[in-house]
Amino acid sequence: MLGRSGKVLLVLYIVCLLVLFLMCSTNLIIREPEQEIYQISVIIEDVRSDNYSNFRKGMDQAAVEFNTDIHFITLYENLNVGQQMELMDREQQDGADALIVVPADEEQVAGKQMTIPVILLRAGVAEAAGAGNIVIDYEKMGEQLARKVMETLPQGTPVYMLTDSSKQSAMDAMFMRGIDRAFEEGGRAVRRIAREEEGGFRMAFEKIGMRKEGEAVILAQNQDILTEAAGILADNAAAAEGVKGLYGRGTTMPILNYLDRGLITGICVTDEFSIGYYSVREAVRALEGAGSVPTVMDSYYIEKEDLREPAFEKLLFPIE
Amino acid sequence: MSRVRRGRRASIALLLLCALVSMLLTACQGVRKEEEKTSIRIGISLYRGDDTFINNIRSIIEEKAKEYERESGIKVTLDIQDAKGSQNTQNNQVERFISLGCDVLCINPVDRMDTSLIIDRAMTAGVPVVFFNRQPVEEDMNRWDKLYYIGVDAKETAVLQGEMVVDLYRKEPEAVDINGDGVVSYVMLEGESSHQDSLIRTEWSVQTLKDGKVPIEKITGGIANWERSQASALMEQWLADYPDTIELVISNNDDMALGAIDALERADVMGVNVIGIDGTTPGLEALESGKLLGTVSANKELYGSAIVELAASCALQEELPSEYPLTDDTYFWTPQEILVTKIKENP
């Protein structure tokens, strides 16, 4: 038989158990601070993500540090701005908290009204940088590359630029503008070679090889063309004989391998890992109302022997 | 007495009330509204992102996912991670995929013998797994009916690789037995010793040559772990150790075959036949230029489609697509074909 105090103790014991149960299995009494996971969608201008491998590593690193969930989205069609803007709307409707966009058309994408923060990776010159933007100054990069090429360029050496107007992004256009300007200032001319429907640049290389003007210097509009050109030189010794040097930009593994093999003479690179990292960081800052600041990225010129330099090694082969 | 009974009844009632409240509270937590899926999320972990064949497959998966998205109107989000050859990293990636709410996992295992942890996690979370390229052991695959494997039949690959040389030998023996001594001297470049395909490819390509009455003699062989650079170093050594002897290089994949070609070019050795497997982009380029005698290529478009379609069906809990018939309700074997260099085909 329980006495009065026994009953009180029993009731207290049960209440205690109930409270403990509620504490352990629900968040009704002690609320755990909810850590918000931000959904960030990244929409690039390309149909493939091959040229974004270091960028993605940086993004993944930031995703872990800033507790974000990243969706990486490529377009169905290269440089299709309409499609890119549709995807921006779709991601906003699907609950994305912020967007990071590599614009297919800077003007149109920058002018698009969105209710969530948008971080743009702009190819524009540094002076045009605004809040929420990460700027890679491709015009300056083009100038930098051209000046390096001219340092060792004998008078009379023909300079060709391999281009593909059907796949010309804002980055490509600014890069070429920078190259043209620097060569013009140096009193040199750059001749354009357009990509042919069939065979790409193979015929062009054969023609260059047959010229009697001596060895030529070749510049590539973008990573894809640079990789293609280096591949042609690797397969065709006769074509390689007519080429004094092949230059361009990019940090993809095939480009770095070709640089290491001596098929590419020099490239301009940016710290793509940091660009990926900063873009996520800026998006989180914007979401937390911390005020995003424009970030302007530097570019560097490197040749084969620089690949083993610790500073460039970290930049080109980042460890996640 | 009645007061005591009343008190006891009150205590029991209180206990029952507590139990009821607890049950209600617990049950309320688990209630979630079922919604029709308009998007799916697929977590993909690759054993090594720098493997050429895996990179090819990755690109095709990305393309096929976009195609599926356009055709079905269901948004597909791919989370692709590189395990960098570490099973531990891959296990962590699987946990992250599950915590991010992936509907299905596509795993290219680092260690095919050690997939039990991945399967445990997936089973606990109820997330189906589509393994590809590196086949988990049968005991693991039999643990759950939501585990699938997509790959190629390694024996078929090896037999096709062997047949490529047998056919050429029958048509033009001197194109294979280059020094005309009546024996084809070969070296063998093998992939990882722990990979099932490596062992089977090595065994059956040689067996097919023997069955096809090609007089062969093995000079030497070595494990180059599927890598071009390692194969190149081995070949360089063999060319120094056995000068003017090697007539045929049999490689378990295209990357190693290309490594052998690199070494042959460096040593300025001509005429040695090199055969690979996979039909990778660089492999096909070497085939086009006549540096590679031939390769065996899986239908990579179908390979990638099968991964995406199967994963999507699992994620949407739909019936599996009939275009990809499964052996034992688990395995899809991608068809393969022989690709021979045009230069050798039309001399």
Q: What is the pLDDT of residues B81-117, one digit of tens each?
A: 999 999 999 999 999 999 989 999 999 999 999 999 9
Indicate whether B282 belongs to any domain. yes
Q: Which of A108-112, B249-253, B300-304 is predicted with the least confidence, judged by mean pLDDT? A: A108-112
Q: Are B171 and B182 part of one and the same domain?
A: yes
Q: Kindly tell me if the per-residue pLDDT of B214 is higher than 50.
A: yes
Kindly state the tokens that stand for A281. 């960081």
Q: Kindly tell me if the per-residue pLDDT of A205 is higher than 90.
A: no
**CATH classification number, A38-136+271-298, choose in 3.10.20.30, 3.40.50.2300, 3.20.20.80, 3.40.50.300:** 3.40.50.2300
pLDDT of residue B49: 85
Q: Which of A1-10, B299-308, B332-341 is predicted with the least confidence, judged by mean pLDDT? A: A1-10
Contacts of B285 in chain A (CB under 8 A): 231, 235
Contacts of B341 in chain A (CB under 8 A): none
If one compares A290 and A272, the residue with the highest pLDDT of the two is A272
CA-nearest residue of chain A to B80?
A72
- The per-residue pLDDT for range B170-194, each reduced to its tens digit, is 999 999 999 999 999 999 999 988 7
Contacts of B18 in chain A (CB under 8 A): 14, 17-18
pLDDT of residue B23: 58
Contacts of B29 in chain A (CB under 8 A): 25-26
Residues A207, A194: Cα–Cα separation, whole Å: 13
- The answer to whether residue B29 neighbours chain A at the CB level (below 8 Å) is yes
pLDDT of residue B293: 95
List residues of A whose CB lies inside 8 A of any B CB. 1-2, 7, 10-11, 14, 17-18, 21-22, 25-26, 28, 47-50, 53, 60, 69, 71-72, 74, 76, 90, 94, 231, 235, 253
Rounded to an integer, the average pLDDT of A40-54 is 90
Confidence grade of residue B31 (pLDDT, cut at 50, 70, 90): very low
Q: Kindly tell me if the per-residue pLDDT of A317 is higher than 50.
A: yes
pLDDT of residue A29: 66
Q: Are B108 and B238 part of one and the same domain?
A: no
β-bridge partners, B221 = B188
pLDDT of residue B14: 60
Mean pLDDT across chain A:
87
The number of C-alpha atoms within 13 Å of B239 and in the hemisphere containing its C-beta is 21
Rounded to an integer, the average pLDDT of A241-258 is 91
pLDDT of residue B33: 44
The CATH topology of domain A139-269 is: Rossmann fold (3.40.50)
Q: Kindly tell me if the per-residue pLDDT of A27 is higher than 70.
A: no
Residues B330, A136: Cα–Cα separation, whole Å: 48
Rounded to an integer, the average pLDDT of A30-40 is 78
Q: Kindly tell me if the per-residue pLDDT of A125 is higher than 90.
A: no
Q: Kindly tell me if the per-residue pLDDT of A173 is higher than 70.
A: yes
Domain boundaries in chain A?
38-136+271-298, 139-269
Q: Are B167 and B131 part of one and the same domain?
A: no
Kindly state the tokens that stand for B238. 């063999």
CA-nearest residue of chain B to A16?
B18
CB-based contact B97:B43 (threshold 8 Å): yes
pLDDT of residue B241: 95
Q: Are B182 and B259 part of one and the same domain?
A: yes
List the single best residue of A71, A86, A224 to mutate versus B (max B Cβ within 10 A): A71
- The answer to whether residue B289 neighbours chain A at the CB level (below 8 Å) is yes
Indicate whether B311 belongs to any domain. yes
If one compares A22 and A148, the residue with the highest pLDDT of the two is A148
CA-nearest residue of chain A to B282?
A231
pLDDT of residue B16: 63
pTM as predicted: 0.78
Q: Kindly tell me if the per-residue pLDDT of B259 is higher than 60.
A: yes
pLDDT of residue B5: 59
pLDDT of residue B166: 96
Residues A91, A74: Cα–Cα separation, whole Å: 13
If one compares A133 and A151, the residue with the highest pLDDT of the two is A151
Q: Are B85 and B118 part of one and the same domain?
A: yes
Rounding to the nearest 10 degrees, give the CA dihedral for residues A297, A303, A309, A314: 40
pLDDT of residue B161: 96
pLDDT of residue A290: 82
Select from A18, A25, A69 the Cβ nearest to the Cβ of B18: A18
Confidence grade of residue B30 (pLDDT, cut at 50, 70, 90): very low
Residues B243, B238: Cα–Cα separation, whole Å: 8
CB-based contact B176:B249 (threshold 8 Å): no
Q: Is A1–B289 a contact, with Cβ atoms under 8 angstroms apart?
A: no
The number of C-alpha atoms within 13 Å of B77 and in the hemisphere containing its C-beta is 25
- The answer to whether residue B86 neighbours chain A at the CB level (below 8 Å) is no
Q: Is A49–B62 a contact, with Cβ atoms under 8 angstroms apart?
A: yes
| pLDDT more than 70, % of chain B | 88
CB-based contact B105:B97 (threshold 8 Å): yes
Residues A219, A197: Cα–Cα separation, whole Å: 19
pLDDT of residue B1: 46
Q: Are B242 and B188 part of one and the same domain?
A: yes
Contacts of B39 in chain A (CB under 8 A): 94
Q: How far is CA B320 from the centre of its chain?
A: 20
pLDDT of residue B346: 44
Q: Is B25–A28 a contact, with Cβ atoms under 8 angstroms apart?
A: yes
Q: How far is CA A168 from the centre of its chain?
A: 16
Angle at A26 between CA A24 and CA A32, to 5 degrees: 85
Q: Kindly tell me if the per-residue pLDDT of A88 is higher than 90.
A: yes
Kindly state the tokens that stand for B3. 């007061």
Q: Are B264 and B187 part of one and the same domain?
A: yes
Mean pLDDT across chain B:
89
Q: Is A94–B39 a contact, with Cβ atoms under 8 angstroms apart?
A: yes
Residues A98, A311: Cα–Cα separation, whole Å: 32
CA-nearest residue of chain A to B42?
A71
Rounded to an integer, the average pLDDT of A60-74 is 92
Q: What is the CATH number of the domain that holds B188?
A: 3.40.50.2300
Q: Are B162 and B135 part of one and the same domain?
A: no
pLDDT of residue B347: 39
Rounded to an integer, the average pLDDT of A185-190 is 91
Q: Are B51 and B173 part of one and the same domain?
A: no
Residues B139, B137: Cα–Cα separation, whole Å: 6
Q: Which of B251, B170, B172 is nearest to B214 (CA)?
A: B170
Q: Are B251 and B324 part of one and the same domain?
A: no
Select from B15, B39, B66 the Cβ nearest to the Cβ of A14: B15
| pLDDT more than 90, % of chain B | 76
Confidence grade of residue A213 (pLDDT, cut at 50, 70, 90): low
Q: Are B84 and B176 part of one and the same domain?
A: no
Domain that holds residue B244: 155-298
Q: Is B75–A10 a contact, with Cβ atoms under 8 angstroms apart?
A: no
Confidence grade of residue B296 (pLDDT, cut at 50, 70, 90): very high
How many domains are there within chain B?
2
Confidence grade of residue B3 (pLDDT, cut at 50, 70, 90): low
Q: Which amino acid is at B238?
A: W
Q: Are B106 and B217 part of one and the same domain?
A: no
Select from A2, A17, A22 the Cβ nearest to the Cβ of B25: A22
Q: Quote the minimal CA–CA distance from B200 to chain A in Å.
A: 31
